[in-house]
Chain A
């Protein structure tokens, strides 16, 4: 008899059909929602043209969930939501209710087990992040650990929705930037600061030299025909790690020098000023497991100055555009260095080509 390992599964069946996953109130009001309002932090109310009401309870999540917790969520969905729940693009869990009287008991049950309800409207959203040292080979820092430390510290901002605007903080553990960290209000990214080590025998054995050469954004990698390997020009390498992505024999992780950089002022939505990239404000913070105190403090400072100074409705980058980057660096009490001035291929349009600027102290 054929074993499970020998069996051919039915392929190309595609994902489960979403319609089968929807609660009746959504099927009844599909495409016919009229408006929504915020009930309180973490709770949304959607009203359909039929007059039907749908309540959403949004729960913060570390994204890494055990099946024990997922089963518990499923039980809660049975108890409060006729067996329906969803997840968001920022890894929240959302419970979908039609009975308003069940909202508070659900929240009580969630929070008693340490699952916070919040992250709607003008609040700190759930952090999005990557795998880090839990499960990735190219991580320059840990993801779950740094995110836990930052979210513990900023917990209050997840629970309230009276910030100047929404605040999206994102994390990526290397420059591959899985997830949209490059367009976040505040982004922290794992960085290397040392040139990859070339294991000639390994490169000769396992790597395609033309691909390795082509992987380098700055042309720092040359073939080394004698060793059937490559050489790396230390003056041109800026430690992106892309060569390591295509060739395992160019390891770049370095316990002493790896760490985190912080970028701010990006956004994704087309609202008002349109989408924007985040910009570098802190080039390096060392890796300090398990709780990364320098990183946590730096991010708190960045959040607090915005909460204090921004006008109602201003996202992080919109606030900085109004006050000016020179004033931002002064207000954040951050040193401005040569690292902050772009020297990659699209650098010149970022230079200030006007005499309009503010003097700082």
Chain B
């Protein structure tokens, strides 16, 4: 086969970092769409603009999501890209695979698509990049036969994702992988059949290091934490010190609440646990010497999202601590989640994320609707303005209480 000349795109075959152009070329050797994808990219580089049209509605039987329709705006010139849809395949929790499961995916995708993938998309799915409408259902049939299912897209529950958790991390405060798998399976209907005002993302991190970036991009962030003392191995502290670590400068001085102290003579660490906010700095700096506590669970946060529309939000605390035990099927967590969905579904405008709804309606409304208790852990500081509401029933209750008290005095 004579190599095609694509002078601009070919520039990106140079350099030390792995080249996506070389990846596309590997598929292009067997697949015409992948070959034309490089031609189309060359055109985009010449024109300095995108050559894809808005997605159309395509899918597989039984689902309202999982497939993103994609069409080139130059179908006459690039006929193999007239349809170039994406399929989102729900990843196993923590993105663990066997080599056989990877090969299975590859074989199906070789038969039904371009041979190009994203491992993985930002939400967490394995992305199969580029196929035609005709191939969608047969491809899904084979994926399903092989034990794979599609992920979410559109106004539905997006594919939940989790960090590697207890599989490979000593900081895991609960079983992130099991929770992710359980929730994904329990809410299959919400995931496959868009029925909500907009998307809803759940991300699960086993500790405050938040390796899934849930606080930045999940509507519902589940982040592991603990309530008791950091465990200290003083022998290992001595080992770090003897190996040249400047514990005062590298660990103690960075503590945000100044709750950790180092005795340089004894080479020992003490922690004032009541004042610790579990930021993870000391533990991450000295993983051999310091360990997370034993009374573990998670903090629940709500509302994280990127800029569109009202500004980016970081998730904020709605429940400081929840136990996450698989024995009861995570019932308390699911009850909270469902009460949030009910309120959001009832009140949100089209394309309004749950964080934006709380911004519009106020935390008071949200808390009353979900039954969550207001606590100081929810805010950086209390309100600074005097613009707060009293509901008539609050004043009436106060009056009634006064009358009861008055009657009691009279007697």
Contact = CB atoms under 8 A, between A and B. Distances in A.
A346 interface: yes
Contacts of A255: 47-49
Contact of A139 (B50, B145, B217): B50
Given A33-B170, A67-B117, A242 B308 contact: yes
Nearest to A256: B48
Interface in A234-262: 240, 242, 245-246, 248, 253-256, 258
Interface string B8-26: 1101101111111101101
B12 A148 contact: yes
A64 B20 contact: yes
B194 to A, nearest CB: 15
Contacts of B169: 33, 36, 46
A155 B17 contact: yes
A211 B351 contact: yes
A105 interface: no
A258 B110 CA distance: 36
Contact of B137 (A9, A26, A62, A75): A9
A277 B213 CA distance: 12
B312 interface: yes
Given A16-B148, A22-B96, A290-B11, A312 B250 contact: yes
Given A65-B119, A70-B105, A290-B8, A18 B177 contact: yes
Interface in B134-163: 134, 137-138, 140-141, 143-145, 147-149, 161, 163
Interface residues of A, number: 122
A135 interface: yes
Looking at B41, B48, B134, B250, the one whose CB has the most chain A CB atoms below 10 A away is B48
Interface string A75-100: 10110000111111101010010000
Contacts of A331: none
Contact of B50 (A71, A91, A137, A214): A137
A290 B6 CA distance: 11
Interface residues of B, number: 128
A325 interface: no
Contacts of B148: 15-16
A316 B310 CA distance: 26
A120 interface: no
A130 B122 contact: yes
A330 to B, nearest CB: 26
B227 to A, nearest CB: 16
B314 A275 contact: yes
Nearest to A11: B62
Given A116-B17, A136-B52, A211-B350, A14 B141 contact: no
A228 to B, nearest CB: 19
Contacts of B18: 60-62, 114-116
Given A4-B137, A148-B17, A180-B213, A85 B102 contact: yes
A149 B308 CA distance: 28
B165 to A, nearest CB: 8
B119 A33 contact: no
Nearest to A270: B208
Contacts of A268: 210, 213, 215-216
Contacts of B188: 12, 14
B309 interface: yes
Contacts of A31: 166, 172, 175
A176 B115 contact: no
A217 interface: yes
B270 interface: no
A87 B215 contact: no
A166 B53 CA distance: 38
B167 A67 contact: no
A270 B213 contact: no
A144 interface: yes
Given A130-B122, A135-B129, A313-B254, A67 B312 contact: no
A360 interface: no
B37 A134 contact: yes
Contact of B44 (A33, A133, A254): A133
B118 A271 contact: no
A9 B102 contact: no
A289 interface: yes
A5 interface: yes
Interface string A1-42: 000111111111111111011100010001111111100000
A269 B171 CA distance: 13
Contacts of A269: 208-210, 280
B193 to A, nearest CB: 10
A138 interface: yes
B314 A35 contact: no
A242 B353 CA distance: 14
A148 B314 contact: no
Contacts of A230: none
A20 B97 CA distance: 8
B119 A87 contact: yes
B399 interface: no
Given A66-B116, A182-B307, A151 B17 contact: yes
Nearest to A211: B350
Contacts of A158: 17
Contact of A67 (B110, B134, B250, B314): B110
Contacts of A83: 98-100
B256 interface: yes
27 contacts: A4-B137, A5-B134, A6-B137, A7-B137, A14-B185, A15-B93, A15-B181, A16-B148, A20-B98, A35-B288, A54-B168, A61-B119, A86-B164, A89-B124, A114-B16, A133-B52, A144-B20, A148-B19, A158-B17, A183-B314, A271-B281, A272-B281, A274-B256, A290-B9, A291-B11, A312-B249, A312-B250
**Complex A-B, nearest 6 residue pairs according to Cβ-Cβ distance, in ascending order:** A152-B15, A74-B99, A31-B166, A270-B208, A248-B54, A289-B45
Interface of A: 4-18, 20-22, 26, 30-37, 46, 54, 56, 60-71, 73-75, 77-78, 83-89, 91, 93, 96, 114-116, 128, 130-131, 133-140, 142, 144-145, 148-149, 151-152, 155, 158, 172, 175-183, 211, 214-215, 217, 240, 242, 245-246, 248, 253-256, 258, 268-275, 277, 287, 289-291, 312-313, 344-346
Given A5-B134, A18-B181, A64-B23, 13 more contacts: A21-B97, A22-B96, A32-B166, A64-B24, A66-B115, A66-B117, A70-B102, A89-B212, A134-B20, A135-B70, A137-B50, A178-B306, A256-B48
